[in-house]
Amino acid sequence: MQRYSRHLLLDEMGDTGQRRLAAARVLVVGAGGLAAPVVSYLAAAGVGHLTVVDDDAVELSNLQRQVLFTTNDVGKGKAEATRAVVAQANPDVDVDAVVERFGSGNALELAADHDLVVDATDNFDTRYLLNDTCVLLGLPLVWASVERFSGRAAVWSAGEGPCYRCVFPDQPPAGAVPSCAEAGVLGAVPGVMGAIQAAEAVKLILGVGEPLIGRILVHDAMAQSWDTLPVAADPACPVCGADPTITALPRQVAESPVPELDPPALRDLLASGAARVIDVRTSAERDIVSLPFTEHLDAGEVGVRRVGVPDGRTLVLHCKSGARSAAAVRTLLREGYDGPVASLRGGILAWADEIDPALPRY
């Protein structure tokens, strides 16, 4: 009674609503900047069971916005660290920490026994998979995304309003849209948007208010403005439309491997003058840390025309951790680049770990 007294005073909540929260099961996919306020407020509200899915570990650069964690958590798994925080904040909440990547092989099993799902991810592959999973299971999906100084939030609920694919039918190719690690983000913005997600989740559990169904809430922190965009279901949507073509989750198919070099191998090539290295990160990232022997092309600019003809050296592309450079190598191979080419495995972070520990990390 004392812990939840402020809830019990609300006519829309009361004892019945608090018991509904205690019986609720919420799946949170991602344990980063958005998840920090989501998990904190849902646990504080007394949501009985939280499942947190994330296979990543806490890094020092996370602490600027991922306020669940402290410096002492650096190196720990995010899901496990989140469970430990909740245990201290509200021991009555059961937290299942799933140290796995949310993928088509485990999506249905992870989501099936929950009342709703919160999308706290930072990549398009998982967002589309989460949407399709929730449509197939008939679950509402509480979504938010952030970039630099702005954020967006909505509730996707097929049957009552649009799903994510209705509004964003075409998934951007890998590397086309910069992540927070590439473009940056004001630390408070995911806090604001995650708090909105928590509020929407509580409203859905209680069945009160007007959830963000059929609306996208848009926040601009620079102007400190809010806008609401109406959105509608697409009758031709491939997953929730009248004649869906997506009726099951795709089987996981491994992409063809990209040629890679590890940092020591690149060091040896550089020593013999046999490597040409292109940094495909943004200029802002290079201002934080860069390698003196690199050229620079943003990932979206990489192509045979910009790179030029092979000169006998191995062309090595690198980014922060290897994902963008791998995609850029695929682009070159697809366009017919006929010289030796590879992605630096682990990117500049691996170079700092294995070759030059004095380099700053971000």
* pTM (predicted TM-score): 0.78
Whole-angstrom Cα distance, residue 113 to residue 109?
8
Tokens 């000169």 sit on residue: 311
| pLDDT recorded at residue 172 | 83
Instruction: Give the pLDDT confidence score for residue 255 in this predicted structure.
Output: 57
Q: Which residues sit opposite 199 in a β-bridge?
A: none
8 Å CB contact between 30 and 122: yes
Determine if residue 175 is left, alpha or beta; phi over 0 gives left, psi from -120 to 50 gives alpha, anything else beta: left
In the predicted model, residues of the chain with pLDDT beneath 50 are 253
Report the relative pairing of strands 141-147 and 116-119 from DSSP bridges. parallel
pLDDT of residue 337: 95
Amino acid at 68: L
Q: Which of the residues 163, 180, 237, 240 is marked catalytic? A: 180
Instruction: Check if 134 is active-site.
Output: no
Q: Which CATH architecture has domain 5-230?
A: 3-Layer(aba) Sandwich (3.40)
Q: How far apart are CA 25 and CA 32, in angstroms?
A: 20
How do residues 236-270 score in pLDDT, each as one tens digit?
999 999 999 999 998 754 556 899 999 999 999 99
How far is the C-alpha of 274 from the C-alpha of 272, rounded, in Å?
5
> Among this protein's residues, is 240 annotated catalytic?
no
Tell me if 5-230 shares its fold with 260-354.
no
Domain segments of the chain as ranges: 5-230, 260-354
Residue from 134, 163, 240, 319 carrying the catalytic annotation: 319
Contact 275, 266 (CB under 8 A): yes
Cβ–Cβ < 8 Å for 28, 52? yes
Architecture of domain 260-354: 3-Layer(aba) Sandwich (3.40)
